[in-house]
Amino acid sequence: MPSQQRRTAKITAIGKYLPERILSNFELEKMVDTTDEWIRSRTGIIERHLVRDGEVTSHMATEAAREVLLKRQIDPEEIDCIIVATVTPDMFFPATACLVQNNLGATRAWGFDLSAACSGFLFALDTGARMVESGQYTKILVIGADTMSSILDYTDRATCVLFGDGAGAILLEPCEDGSEGVLDSILRCDGSGAEYLYMEGGGSLYPPSAETIAKGQHYLQQDGPAVFKYAAKWMADVSAEVAERNGLTNKDIQLFIPHQANKRIIDASAHRLGLTAEQVLSNIERYANTTAATIPLGMADAVDDGRLRPGDNLILAAFGAGFTWGGMYIRWSEVR
Ligand code: UT7
């Protein structure tokens, strides 16, 4: 529960990176048996950004982080720790966070990757916030970055239309009087949902082989309707729970930024909170589902559009593979 005494962690700068190349629904019509009408009406997506050849997760994460450093006007040596939420790291190891650390020249930082799929940024933000609260760290970069196009089967219409590539980054710093920043969070996981959304090939279960390639086990697999059922309920439930336990009614919430997987899930969660369209951020139409990047991209867009001001009450919510899910209450601070 929030307290006005303890040190909290507030967001002080935000950056984003979207690859230049845009893939529209109309282009997808030429690649698989789908239509712009189906994609728009079932998901809300119109287009998504995709990396060019050779562009990888660490590159997008680094560019988003560079924007943070530039806006905050700090040197990379001031960063204490870098947390990268991703399910599409450049490689299993070393961690993408180490590659970002080297790209930035963040010589004093340590870092690690966090794997929680679409809830990854929320889990990473909470982790970073607790590290700042501990008093041991004062500047933590939290990045959500995913190159979903690297694990999609562009002959499978059920999945390839849903995702895009991108990265968002924020800087966490202390708020000594505890009046702003991350004030509360509820985070959950339930591994019994693993069978509905996964990429099984390439790990210790199915090490890469000609057989795993032939079976397409290195591609993301999803039982869409099953995930939809859980996502719509649990993301709405957790959003309501975190708002209620902080005494926030629909009139107290200036903005709700939910994970962007499906406009119908976004609307269901917003409806549960009793919010109007103006109180809900939706950019799924332009970016599709960028997994760990959806929430920081949403925050970056909200700041750019003047939709978040210091003192605003912000609710974040996410749901993804694992299953993982969560909700967070942030009192917005001065953010560059
Ligand atoms: O971010 C991580 C968490 N992920 C999510 O939250 C995603 C949750 N799931 C969803 O968003 C939705 O389930 C989808 C968008 C993936 C699918 O929407 P749906 O309304 O659940 O459709 P469906 O899978 O039940 O498919 C309905 C029909 C099927 O055809 P029949 O069997 O009715 O003839 C599918 O084969 O739509 C067909 N279909 C398509 N048609 C055109 C599936 N994908 C496509 C497509 N284009 N791309």
184-243: pLDDT as tens digits = 999 999 999 999 999 999 999 999 999 999 999 999 999 999 999 999 999 999 999 999
Express each pLDDT in 23-60 by its tens digit: 999 999 999 999 999 999 999 999 999 999 999 999 99
Q: For ligand 1, atom 44, name the residue with the nearest CA.
A: 158
Catalytic residue among 81, 98, 118, 189: 118
Atom of ligand 1 nearest to the CA of 28: 48
* Average confidence (pLDDT) over 105-130: 98
Q: Which of ligand 1's atoms lies nearest the C-alpha of 34?
A: 47
Please report where in the chains the tokens 């501990």 appear, as a residue: 134
- Residue 59 annotated in active site: no
Residue 1 has pLDDT above 60, yes or no: no
42 lines ligand 1 (CB under 6 A): yes
- 182-331 folds as Peroxisomal Thiolase; Chain A, domain 1 (3.40.47)
Burial class (CB in 10 A: 0-12, 13-18, 19+), 27: exposed
Task: Indicate if ligand 1 lies below 6 Å from the C-beta of 227.
Answer: yes
Q: Is 202 left (phi over 0), alpha (psi -120 to 50) or beta?
A: left
pLDDT exceeds cutoff 90 at 165: yes
The response to whether residue 193 sits with its C-beta less than 6 Å from ligand 1 reads no
| Of 42, 265, 289, best ligand 1 pocket probe by most atoms within 8 Å of the beta carbon | 42
pLDDT of amino acid 99 = 98
Rounded alpha-carbon distances, angstroms, from residue 130 to 126, 136, 168, 231, 331 = 6, 10, 20, 26, 16
Residue 37 alpha carbon to ligand 1 centre in Å: 13
Report pLDDT for 2: 53
Ligand 1 neighbourhood includes 265 CB (under 6 angstroms): yes
User: Could you confirm whether 189 is annotated as catalytic?
Assistant: no
pTM for the model = 0.97
Calculate mean pLDDT across residues 250-261: 98
CA of 220 to the centre of ligand 1 (A): 14
Ligand 1 center–CA 34 separation, angstroms: 11
- Check if 246 is active-site: no
8-178 matches 182-331 in fold:
yes
Catalytic residue among 81, 259, 262, 283: 259
Please indicate whether residue 38, judged by its CB atom, sits closer than 6 Å to ligand 1.
Answer: yes
The structural domains of the chain, with segments of one domain joined by +, span: 8-178, 182-331
For residues 264-280, average pLDDT: 95
Just give the CATH number of 8-178. Answer: 3.40.47.10
Angle at 61 between CA 174 and CA 139, to 5 degrees: 15
Mean pLDDT (the chain, rounded): 97
- On the question of pLDDT at 3 being above 60, the answer is no
If phi over 0 gives left and psi between -120 and 50 gives alpha, with beta otherwise, what is residue 178? left
Segment 255-274 shows an average pLDDT of 96
Structure tokens, 91: 């490689």
266 lines ligand 1 (CB under 6 A): no
Average pLDDT over residues 154-179: 97
Look at residue 4 and tell me whether its pLDDT is greater than 70: no
Ligand 1: which of 35, 154, 228 to mutate, most ligand atoms within 8 Å of CB? 228
